[in-house]
């Protein structure tokens, strides 16, 4: 059994009532902080280009883009909002993990909240959102802290992808087996080069968006029964660094 199974069980079995009071308070604070950063980032560089690259009419989707009269698909809105949250690097960071841990989970979760509301008329509760973000951040931070090598890959994006997958799985009420598949599928899509950081390229922030988008696809596929690789953290071909 891979340790990803333990992580998946933790996510699917932890209820809102299990969260410590200080964790709930911190989650609310970080959600508000990250929303503010994302709204600020709506005026950042290359936002227009990223939104226009998503294709189709900008008001025909199911999920909103921060501070704009734009709705896109769930995956595209998650991509754009994660970029807006990170394009100025003001989003909160776990220093020990070296992960901006809220960005990808929140971008994905808010896009899913919109999708459920528009597609099915389902109102996600505040407790559901807090539980999703708290567990998504928990996953991203623990993976970051467990990393033992230097940043050969862009850890905020790669760990953020797992956190976003966990958060979305909570909102879609995945069982453990389905979440393990989603983790495996997102593992196959992890992306992020530190060269963007070295060069000060806008692709640094966009990589947060790419991983958020890929988390949506991972959950979409797992929800349809597509199996993912299982031994993604301890298998013989696991990444050696991140």
Rounded Cα distance between 108 and 12, Å, is 17
Mean of pLDDT over the chain: 94
CATH class in words for 3-223: mainly alpha
The DSSP output letter for 237 is T
Q: Where are the domains of the chain?
A: 3-223
Q: Tens digits of per-residue pLDDT, 116-162? A: 999 999 999 999 999 999 999 999 999 999 987 777 889 999 999 99
pLDDT in tens, 77-114: 999 999 999 999 999 999 999 999 999 999 999 999 99
- Is 241 a residue whose pLDDT tops 50? no
Residue holding tokens 């100025």?
88
List pLDDT tens digits, range 35-86.
999 999 999 999 999 999 998 777 778 999 999 999 999 999 999 999 999 9
This prediction has a pTM of 0.95
Tally of CB atoms within 10 A around 207: 27
Residue with tokens 């899509």: 189
Binned at pLDDT 50, 70 and 90, residue 189 comes out as: very high
């Amino acid at each position: 059994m891979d340790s990803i199974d333990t992580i998946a069980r933790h996510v699917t079995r932890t209820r809102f009532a299990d969260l410590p009071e200080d964790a709930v308070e911190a989650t609310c604070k970080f959600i508000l902080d990250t929303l503010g950063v994302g709204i600020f980032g709506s005026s950042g560089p290359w936002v227009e280009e990223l939104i226009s690259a998503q294709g189709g009419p900008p008001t025909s989707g199911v999920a909103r883009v921060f501070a704009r009269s734009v709705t896109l698909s769930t995956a595209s809105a998650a991509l754009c909002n994660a970029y807006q949250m990170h394009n100025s690097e003001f989003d909160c960071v776990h220093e020990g993990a070296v992960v901006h841990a809220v960005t990808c989970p929140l971008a994905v979760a808010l896009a899913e909240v919109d999708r459920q509301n528009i597609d099915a008329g389902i109102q996600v509760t505040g407790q559901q959102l807090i539980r999703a973000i708290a567990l998504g951040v928990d996953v991203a931070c623990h993976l970051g802290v467990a990393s033992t090598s230097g940043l050969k890959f862009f850890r905020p994006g790669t760990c953020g992808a797992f956190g976003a997958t966990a958060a979305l799985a909570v909102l879609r009420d995945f069982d453990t087996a389905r979440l393990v598949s989603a983790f495996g599928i997102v593992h196959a899509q992890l992306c992020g080069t530190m060269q963007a950081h070295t060069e000060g390229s806008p692709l640094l922030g966009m990589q947060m968006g790419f991983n958020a988008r890929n988390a949506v696809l991972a959950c979409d596929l797992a929800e349809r029964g597509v199996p993912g690789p299982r031994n993604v953290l301890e298998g013989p071909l696991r990444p050696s660094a991140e």
